[in-house]
Homo-oligomer: A and B are copies of this chain.
Amino acid sequence: MAGPLSEAARVFLSTCPVGTIATLRPDGRVRQTVVYFVLDGDRILISTEAKRGKARDVERTGWASFCVFGHAKPWPSLTVEGPARVIREGVAEPTARILAVIAGAPPTQPPSEDALARAGRVILEIEIAKVYGQSYVG
């Protein structure tokens, strides 16, 4: 079954390295942070540390919003949202892909799972359940 992303939205998300994740803090207000990401099928994947506020918010609420925009007029943009979770196992491969986005270079040998676990590195996953606010994309 086709997911909620149009082909144009998919291309757009594949070419943007950063976006703004929004989660709900324990005080019920919004937390927004700029992060690198990769699109993986119908999922947004972000590398972070388990102790970070956004990771704790996702574990508590099971949901996140992610807004991406281009970097020149007319500022193409869209927002996706959906169920979110923190993944602690099998994170080496997606982490390597996100590190490649950060470096602007092809992925290198993935870091070891053990080293990532020791560093508290996790993958924050957002399933794209809904897309809205799509503007000047495609």
> Does A30 make an interface contact (CB < 8 A)?
yes
A83 to chain B, nearest CB (A): 11
Q: Give the residues in chain B near A104, CB-CB below 8 Å.
A: 73
| Nearest B residue (CB) for A32 | B67
> Does A45 make an interface contact (CB < 8 A)?
no
- Return the CB mask of A80-118 against B: 1 if under 8 Å, else 0: 010000000000000000000000100000000000000
Q: How far is the CA of A69 from the CA of B24 in the complex (A)?
A: 20
- Return the CB mask of A59-74 against B: 1 if under 8 Å, else 0: 0000101110101110
From B23, B29, B33, B135, A67 is in contact (CB under 8 Å) with: B33
> Does A34 make an interface contact (CB < 8 A)?
yes
Give the total of A residues in contact with B, Cβ under 8 Å: 28
> Does A48 make an interface contact (CB < 8 A)?
no
A75 to chain B, nearest CB (A): 5
Q: Give the residues in chain B near A29, CB-CB below 8 Å.
A: 24, 63, 65, 81
Q: How far is the CA of A71 from the CA of B18 in the complex (A)?
A: 10
A41 to chain B, nearest CB (A): 22
Q: How far is the CA of A18 from the CA of B136 in the complex (A)?
A: 15
The reply to whether A77 and B22 contact each other, CB–CB distance below 8 Å, is: no
A124 to chain B, nearest CB (A): 15
